[in-house]
Structure 1
Amino acid sequence: MTPAAIIGGGVIGGGWAARFLLNGWDVRVFDPDPDAKRKIDAVLENARRALPGLLDVALPEEGGLSFHDTIAEAVTGAVWIQESVPERLEIKQQTFAAIQAACDPAAVIGSSTSGFRPSDLQQSSLRPEQIIVCHPFNPVYLLPLVEVVTTALTAPEILEQSLATLRGLGMYPLHLKKEIDAHVADRLLEAVWREALWLVKDGIATTAEIDDAIRYGFGLRWAQMGLFETYRIAGGEAGMKHFMAQFGPALAWPWTKLTDVPEFTEELVDLIAGQSDAQSGHYSIRDLERLRDGNLVAMMRALKGQGWGAGDVLAAQERAMREGHALGQRAADVTDPAAPVLTVRRAVPLDWTDYNGHMNEAKYLQAFGDATDRFMELIGCDAEYIASGGSYFTAETHIRHLDEVHAGTVIEVHTRVLGGGGKKMHLWHEMHAGARLLATGEHFLLHVSLDTRRPSQPAPEIDAALRRFADAQAQLPRPAGAGRFVGAPRDGPAGGGAVA
């Protein structure tokens, strides 16, 4: 378990702790707040509920979490140190001095600062080349963006290590090669925030109406395409040049007050706080966090299905996690073909559960379908082969639901071949959570030509790989429940079913 140190355990520091911990790192925390452990535990509770559901492969075993009385104790031996102390330059510089007095000179020291330039942070430090800005976005354990800002003093190996580590955590490091106060994302947010304050102050819109304008409109576009790509589409077939020619003159109109900001009087603060209470006061902060996390997981998983934006970052993390794992093997890598094959290992995501609070029946089918797809890939029926014109189509499926499973549970599916060769493939899946057998799935498939849409012989190498498993597993006892039909007595004869 690689050690990371978190200096400052507030909302952002707690989010960093969760991101590292749930990706298999040991995490050491220093925060003088006597309530730090309770606060980080609350963040971890949400992260454990949400983060595993982003991926279709289980995260590594969770690392160990420890709390320390001094900075020196926390950072000793750490390869990544993340500073998330209050946004006061003198406090940050004092913190870096204490960190560098005890840490490994080769460790990355990242600052979560949302406003300070890295040159400000490096000033008067023992090793300025070691300190960089790594500015994340809340919730850190879900949102992938990290603004990485460096200076000419930054050591190349520190930058390289930081980018590789962040990608390994499933994050998207945006390397800004030129520093500026507040970096990029917060400057954009600040512009929208200023305009929103004027709209409320001038009585044009309430806090709820402004939020509705964002979340029901351009916020959905921004979530997948950002600003410039959205406007490129708005330009129609002529693209961005046409858009700028058509709408550019509007920038000279006196629409906004972005260069000015209303005075923060008690009246304005009370007005905005009162509207915000009316809008969201009936939810606790924990309720809002869980709603936010559930929505983010659903949106990012949808984007993953499209291989787009934040979803593409998740897909890349999954591919990396499968490499060197049983889930990434090919048939030739399997040394014992007589053993059932691990085809799925994943956490049950939030959107797989139903009104009863457990995984719904459609998702059992999806998990077994994923297991079939993985076995097909194992024997060589992968995307490249399917693109060449051959695939297996499912002809029959039977699922037995034996036990319930809830969101966050890590499930494993092991697959064996009951029969196979030629056009036919007969698979048996067993889904477990630890020692509990949750469900079984029986699938009978036929190899089909995608040109004729009729059964056909598979490629010789696929047929040979399938027969290798079928022959080796033919010696195993027939699993209980194989060949059952709906309504068959639980302890009676199996009855008729699909046979290969």
Structure 2
Amino acid sequence: MTKTAAIIGGGVIGGGWAARFLLNGWDVQIFDPDPEAQRKIGEVLNNARRSMPGLSDVALPTAGQLRFCDSLSDAVVGVDWIQESVPERLEVKQKVYQKLQEYCPEDAIIGSSTSGFKPSELQAGASRPEQVLVTHPFNPVYLMPLVEIVPTANNSPTLVARAKDTLKSIGMFPLHVRKEIDAHIADRFLEAVWREALWLVKDGVATTEEIDQAIRMGFGIRWAQMGLFDTYRVAGGEAGMKHFMEQFGPALQWPWTKLMDVPEFTDELASLIADQSDAQSGHLSIRDMERLRDDNLVSIMRALKSRNFASGMVLNAHDAKLSDSAGMVRHMDDITDLSMPIITVRRAVPVDWLDYNGHMTESRYLQAFADATDRLMEIVGCDMNYIATGGSFFTAETHIRHIDETHLGSVIEINTRVLMAQGKKMHLWHEMYAGESLLATGEHMLVHVSLKTRRPAPFSPQIDANLRLICEAHSDLKIPNGMGRYVGQPR
């Protein structure tokens, strides 16, 4: 059954939450008195629809229904989750909780996007404090997996577990903050870096652009995949963190930073920062910068995904859940009709699959067909466990026909047929579709090999039986148009 989330406050963060829930199949109800709310959230949703599917190697679920509500009471009736993202003013947040708890279900989870307030402060204004906890995300919410979850003793372990499970179900990484503290964990680091940056600009040591370059050309890349302590552990060499602390620990006594001192926030400092920032990136609109940011984030996280590391591990886990919920075939027992081609791939085209013409580049057609082959191998029993025993398939020949183009965000589906499977060979036929449109075909001849001798070898009895079963069922299908064509042969 479709679940429903209420978004209270539709700014950048609220809009990001709306997109995260909506594109993971939840219905979303939004309340924001701003007359421009629909336009602003619509632009955030456009960015999310453009970039978020690119994080997954399977298709996202069918998007939920979006509804803008005229009142707070209307927005929270019958919902499962309420995400409060109103301005960072404690009295405003407390007033919102008092109002919404008059109408929302008593078992609904109320999460706050607050970046600074402690949950006990928020609960002080609630009639049912046990419903309220901090769920602090990072911008853009529809791409960034981290969400800091901060409860108090008022929140039952059951509610906290439900909150974590819900956040995981929409592809996020809930980090349980064990003690209440102002600004939680991540924003305390950001505040420290921000204060030091303000001093560097104020003292004329560096410009805003030079500081950004120092981060994105250096430690920012390392932090993106390894964090702080693992980065320094590696920096300690073979002796690890102990050596690093012995070598650099004394520097903590040196006057390197002004971390305990805050520059006076004057109009002059504000103008200096704003002018340098405008000179740095004023030639780009905010929408342009958001799309550039999103494209870069997707590409970085996809690289981590290929290594199943850091945020990439979260994305792979979410993909597995999406694949299972979509009914994708993984084993022979999952096939409901052997006589039909098997759907081996269903996914969106990500940004890093595009070429200079703005459509999916030719090498990615091969990658998509290779993914389809891997899935077919898994189905018939040639999975990682089997490969570990010393048997696998090598591709001997491939022929791809490019029939139509496809673009960013388009959902592609690959249907796979087994044309022949006997002895040591497997002959596959893939067809790639976007809706009803045929985009490409891939014909592949594979040879089963022994990984010990690197020579052709017979299938295992189980793989042989599974392939024969599928091949015989597919033999009744019409011979595919284009099978056996050579390059340049007229259609």
Question: The TM-score by the shorter chain falls in which range?
Answer: over 0.9
Which position in structure 2 is the counterpart of 1:244? 245
**C-alpha contact (below 8 Å) 1:326/1:342 kept by paired residues:** no
Shift of 1:42: 0.2
Which position in structure 2 is the counterpart of 1:321? 322
2:6 counterpart SS class = strand
Moved more, 318-327 or 164-173: 318-327
CA distance in 2, matches of 1:396, 1:126: 68
C-alpha change, 1:408 and 1:18, in structure 2 (3 Å) is: same
CA distance in 2, matches of 1:390, 1:487: 35
CA distance in 2, matches of 1:324, 1:34: 38
Which position in structure 1 is the counterpart of 2:383? 382
Q: What aligned pairs does 1:78-93 form with structure 2 within 5 A after superposition?
A: 78-93=79-94
Amino acid corresponding to residue 303 of structure 2 in structure 1: A
Which position in structure 2 is the counterpart of 1:282? 283
Which position in structure 2 is the counterpart of 1:125? 126
2:438 counterpart SS class = strand
Which position in structure 2 is the counterpart of 1:46? 47
Which position in structure 1 is the counterpart of 2:24? 23
Which position in structure 2 is the counterpart of 1:55? 56
Amino acid corresponding to residue 288 of structure 1 in structure 2: M
Query: 2:282 aligned with 1:254, yes or no?
Result: no
**C-alpha contact (below 8 Å) 2:7/2:84 kept by paired residues:** yes
Which position in structure 2 is the counterpart of 1:465? 466
Which position in structure 1 is the counterpart of 2:65? 64
Which position in structure 1 is the counterpart of 2:264? 263
**C-alpha contact (below 8 Å) 1:107/1:158 kept by paired residues:** no
CA distance in 1, matches of 2:115, 2:448: 56
Which position in structure 2 is the counterpart of 1:295? 296
1:223 counterpart SS class = helix
Which position in structure 2 is the counterpart of 1:495? none
Per-residue CA distance 1:429-456 (angstroms, 9 max, x = gap)? 0000001001100001010100111100
**C-alpha contact (below 8 Å) 1:50/1:350 kept by paired residues:** yes
Which position in structure 2 is the counterpart of 1:174? 175
2:328 counterpart SS class = helix
Which position in structure 2 is the counterpart of 1:494? none
CA distance in 2, matches of 1:40, 1:73: 19
Amino acid corresponding to residue 3 of structure 1 in structure 2: T
C-alpha change, 1:481 and 1:234, in structure 2 (3 Å) is: same
Which position in structure 1 is the counterpart of 2:422? 421
Query: 2:230 aligned with 1:229, yes or no?
Result: yes
Which position in structure 1 is the counterpart of 2:441? 440
CA distance in 2, matches of 1:325, 1:22: 14
**C-alpha contact (below 8 Å) 1:130/1:155 kept by paired residues:** no
1:140 counterpart SS class = coil
**C-alpha contact (below 8 Å) 2:332/2:466 kept by paired residues:** yes
CA distance in 2, matches of 1:31, 1:158: 27
Query: 2:337 aligned with 1:336, yes or no?
Result: yes
CA distance in 2, matches of 1:328, 1:258: 55
**C-alpha contact (below 8 Å) 2:236/2:243 kept by paired residues:** yes
**C-alpha contact (below 8 Å) 1:348/1:407 kept by paired residues:** yes
Amino acid corresponding to residue 3 of structure 2 in structure 1: T
Which position in structure 2 is the counterpart of 1:158? 159
**What 5-or-longer segments of structure 1 have no aligned partner?**
491-500
**C-alpha contact (below 8 Å) 2:23/2:60 kept by paired residues:** yes
Which position in structure 2 is the counterpart of 1:205? 206
Q: What is the number of equivalent residue pairs in this alignment?
A: 490
Shift of 1:157: 2.1
Which position in structure 2 is the counterpart of 1:449? 450
2:240 counterpart SS class = helix
CA distance in 1, matches of 2:327, 2:464: 21
1:211 counterpart SS class = helix
**C-alpha contact (below 8 Å) 2:344/2:416 kept by paired residues:** yes
Which position in structure 2 is the counterpart of 1:136? 137
Query: TM-score when scaled to structure 1?
Result: 0.97
CA distance in 2, matches of 1:37, 1:138: 19
Shift of 1:61: 0.3
1:391 counterpart SS class = strand
CA distance in 2, matches of 1:116, 1:265: 25
Percent identity for Structure 1 against Structure 2: 66
2:487 counterpart SS class = coil
1:327 counterpart SS class = coil
Post-superposition, which runs of at least 4 consecutive aligned residues in structure 1 deviate over 4 A?
none
CA distance in 1, matches of 2:6, 2:422: 54
CA distance in 2, matches of 1:347, 1:216: 30
Cα RMSD (Å): 0.8
Shift of 1:200: 0.3
Shift of 1:324: 4.9
**C-alpha contact (below 8 Å) 1:338/1:473 kept by paired residues:** yes
Which position in structure 2 is the counterpart of 1:216? 217
CA distance in 2, matches of 1:327, 1:380: 16
Q: What aligned pairs does 1:355-434 form with structure 2 within 5 A after superposition?
A: 355-434=356-435
Query: 2:118 aligned with 1:108, yes or no?
Result: no
CA distance in 2, matches of 1:225, 1:209: 23
Amino acid corresponding to residue 54 of structure 1 in structure 2: L
**What 5-or-longer segments of structure 2 have no aligned partner?**
none
**C-alpha contact (below 8 Å) 1:111/1:135 kept by paired residues:** yes
Shift of 1:97: 0.7
Per-residue CA distance 1:54-112 (angstroms, 9 max, x = gap)? 11000000111000011110000110000000000000000011111100111100000
CA distance in 1, matches of 2:291, 2:257: 34
